[in-house]
Amino acid sequence: MVRRAPVTRKSSQATRVSPARRAGTEPPATDRAENPAVDLGRTARRLRETQNLTLADVARRANISSAMLSRLETGRVSPSLETIVALSEALGVTASVLMQRVGTNDGGAQLIRAGEGLETVRSGTRRGHTYHLLAAQRGPRKTFEPFLVTFTDKSEVFPGFQHPGIELIHMLSGIIHYRHGRHTYVLKPGDTLTFRGDVAHGPERLEKVPIRMLSLIIYANEDD
């Protein structure tokens, strides 16, 4: 007697592939945020709505169906070059305007959680004196540097600092005597001091520790 091996039946639902996915015309939902079709669709919808045009109005002008235009605006289809040209003409813009957001970073926000700022070493950094960088600058030119500065050692002696740009200091806690040029300012929580960075400056006396303050250094544009 020969025993037959058991047959495992696969669910037809698990292996079913939609025609759109098979043809590669509709990206998975998880990929749509990074798909160029999404950027183009958002721009097309914005242009249509600012002109108070309906889907039917634009679809008729572009010689496509309203359903197709709706799918295009939501990034569910990638239009051909001919469709992009026809759609741009229907919206009264050039194709380059319609594609202006394709491939660009939408927003560019950067979040640094509490306690996650990168601790950096700067001139004058010693025990009881820390800098935490609150934003990582992107791009070829540095335009600003935001720091959370903490002082905990009242006996610390500070050198004078000088750097390009403008600096803003906002006190969060403690009391500090801060020198800029020939003047000394007593800063308490809530106080803000703004000054030129190329004039010698720095802490003169730590009256009440711990001291925490925000320091924002803004660098001038080289083209100015």
State both tokens at 62: 């572009």
Report the share of the chain in percent with pLDDT over 70: 71
Tokens of 194: 């703004």
Mean pLDDT within 79-107: 80
| Average pLDDT over all residues of the chain | 77
Range of weakest confidence among 53-57, 124-128, 198-202: 124-128
Residue 151 token pair:
């002082």
Query: What SS3 state is found at 96?
Result: helix
Nearest residue to 166 via CA among 204, 220, 122? 220
Model confidence at 79, pLDDT cuts 50, 70, 90, reads confident
Tell me the per-residue pLDDT of 193-212, one tens digit each, with 9 for 90 and over.
999 999 999 999 999 999 99
Q: Show Cβ contacts of residue 137 under 8 Å, excluding neighbours closer than 6 positions.
A: 143, 144, 145
Terminal Cα distance for the chain, rounded = 93
Domain 20-98 class in CATH: mainly alpha
CATH class of 118-218: mainly beta
Query: Beta 201-218 vs 183-187: how paired, if at all?
Result: unpaired
Q: Answer positive or negative: Cα dihedral of 162, 142, 171, 123.
A: negative
Span 145-162, mean pLDDT?
Answer: 84
DSSP state of 94: -
Per the CB < 8 A criterion, the answer to whether 201 and 195 are in contact is: yes
CA 198 from centroid of its chain's CA atoms: 30
* Domain ranges (residues) in the chain: 20-98, 118-218
pLDDT of 40 higher than 80: yes
- Checking if the pLDDT of 36 tops 60, the result is yes
pTM of the model: 0.52
H or E element: which one contains 187? strand 183-187
